[in-house]
Chain A
């Protein structure tokens, strides 16, 4: 049905090529930089011919950076570990809290249920610093400043609304009669929840979990305000690293590559559900 002329097709191809270049070039370029020595990076004009080196990664992984000014200890691997720990724990906790709540909101109309669900949603849209700055003062009083617990708790602001609203949609799509049938067959409510509702909402739970992991990983401001130096995730760590390492651009590029690789890989794996996650469950991809 599409009657497209040659000019149109060429135009289309040119446009798409430009678009792909614009969006992918930075990623590719930084990836290339991460395999170059500082000297190669500083060449003018920039050149694509170089012998790849793994020195940048080695320095990052070993944690020691040799610069002209001497040796520098870099906590970047620790940042990476923090990111893994914080994001994983935050998502697991959000799943434990969010999946039963999502089920409650999907299946029952109870007092204030919609108000509560929308309050949780509105957390997604409030300015984070409004809560974070007073919280940082509370954290000092509560002794949460130097702990993972505090951060994991605050990360619920990211993960919980997402999980709640995506999983709720999946629960709503299960015919209640399927659960009723299992109840009537003689199974308790709890068994029905775990044997019927959870497996049937499985794809949604997995998607929400993956996506909230990505969003927790990518978060910057929460940790910037609340995390002490040794609890910082990569987003904050990478920024600190740039300041500390000065002109070690190769290592900076390598650090960036290490920081984004996990989320990019997860995103490629979870791309089927991204649309749904990005729209908080409003649009199915």
Chain B
């Protein structure tokens, strides 16, 4: 059952269209992470849902009913703010209880519920403290507890891990999915971190140019981005984009890459004659020792070790740069110098240069079988 439905939502601030015909629907009990670069209106969307701002146009249906006209206090939503927004003049206990006092719950019941949610979030020992006396992590948990305490069936979380330190963010990222599942609410979770979006969401909604560019499972968003804009947002380092112009040579599609001609599967034949961007995920590139028939000669310029992986900077003939990444547990460090790079065809993404839309090969089946890389290096 659809719990949140947003239809054609528009919102403009000072002549800047922030949301421009955004539509999205979220099922009951589902966790959807809302992801996009900063300034794309993710927070605005949550505020429209919570009733803090009115939309310029469009409809919001909560639990199947039109929510326009109902003020924030009548929407039955739980929300955690990025900057926590704790009430500075109240103790953590009263902060959390604020969501219950409005609902005419009796004192014993309030105390019991606050205690329970505090236990769940491990802040039972600081309930008597005022926000000033709490650590950032405790503030964040208090804010979360305040959003959760009244068991709202709709929960809006505005980048709750943004303002906590890296260690805590890591812990919470492990803890949150189980916690949210346990609460059972429908969750819309805003984040600017693609890893967080993919780790927490049943689905990821990608917000670009005031609309949801794509809303899909994390795996499909990664493997089948609708356009180059979405593809760019996921991956660290981001994918390599190289301008290519596929041509038919002897009836088979072919691209030129770093001075090499690389044959593409027949399913790419329709692409011939157009201008495209070839998208290559760094982790899909592998350095190989010997040139194969369809490898590309490169120069390894620099190696940046990042704990669990290394990022390699390569240049192709003609100076174009490529980033590749590989597991960081190699016994001997890589030497810079000439090398060859091979890549998986099933990770190959092709985008129309003008529109940015992903090119979908006709007859997808063939792609997975062929490999351009021949030699594996280890």
Please tell me whether chains A and B touch each other in their complex, using a CB distance cut-off of 8 A. yes
In the bound complex, what is the Cα–Cα distance between A196 and B83 (angstroms)?
17
Interface centre among A177, A189, A196, A200 (most CB of B within 10 A): A177
Answer yes or no: B85 CB below 8 A from chain A CBs: yes
In the bound complex, what is the Cα–Cα distance between A181 and B82 (angstroms)?
11
In the complex, which of the residues A178, A186, A188, A191 contacts B87, with contact meaning CB atoms closer than 8 Å? A178
B146 touches A187 (CB 8 A): no
SS class of chain B's interface: helix, strand, loop or mixed?
Answer: loop
Answer yes or no: B264 CB below 8 A from chain A CBs: no
Interface centre among A175, A183, A200 (most CB of B within 10 A): A183
In the complex, which of the residues B50, B87, B101 contacts A196, with contact meaning CB atoms closer than 8 Å? B87
Answer yes or no: B89 CB below 8 A from chain A CBs: yes
Answer yes or no: B77 CB below 8 A from chain A CBs: yes
A189: nearest chain-B partner, CB-CB: B71
Q: In whole Å, how far is B151's beta carbon from the nearest beta carbon of chain A?
A: 13
Q: Number of A interface residues, CB 8 Å?
A: 17
In the bound complex, what is the Cα–Cα distance between A177 and B50 (angstroms)?
12
Which chain B residues lie closer than 8 Å to A181 at the CB level? 79, 81, 85-87, 146
Q: In whole Å, how far is B15's beta carbon from the nearest beta carbon of chain A?
A: 14
Cβ proximity bits B61-98 to A, threshold 8 Å, 1 near / 0 not? 00000000001110111110101011111000000001
Which chain B residues lie closer than 8 Å to A188 at the CB level? 73
Task: With A180-B50, A185-B99, A186-B99 as known contacts, state yes or no: A175 contacts B83, CB within 8 Å.
Answer: yes
Answer yes or no: B57 CB below 8 A from chain A CBs: no
Answer yes or no: A199 CB below 8 A from chain B CBs: yes
Which chain A residues lie closer than 8 Å to B102 at the CB level? 185-187, 191
B85 touches A175 (CB 8 A): yes
SS class of chain A's interface: helix, strand, loop or mixed?
Answer: helix
In the bound complex, what is the Cα–Cα distance between A187 and B97 (angstroms)?
12
A-B pair count, CB < 8 Å, reads: 61
A177: nearest chain-B partner, CB-CB: B85
Which chain B residues lie closer than 8 Å to A189 at the CB level? 71, 73
Task: With A184-B50, A185-B102, A187-B102 as known contacts, state yes or no: A178 contacts B72, CB within 8 Å.
Answer: no
Which chain A residues lie closer than 8 Å to B285 at the CB level? none
Q: In whole Å, how far is A188's beta carbon from the nearest beta carbon of chain B?
A: 6
In the complex, which of the residues A183, A191, A200 contacts B72, with contact meaning CB atoms closer than 8 Å? A183
Answer yes or no: B103 CB below 8 A from chain A CBs: yes
Q: In whole Å, how far is B155's beta carbon from the nearest beta carbon of chain A?
A: 11
Which residues of B are in contact with A by a Cβ distance under 8 Å?
A: 47, 50-52, 71-73, 75-79, 81, 83, 85-89, 98-99, 101-103, 146, 150
Which residues of A are in contact with B by a Cβ distance under 8 Å?
A: 175, 177-178, 180-189, 191, 196, 199-200
Q: List 8 A-B contacts (CB under 8 A).
A: A178-B88, A180-B81, A184-B79, A185-B146, A186-B99, A187-B73, A187-B101, A196-B87
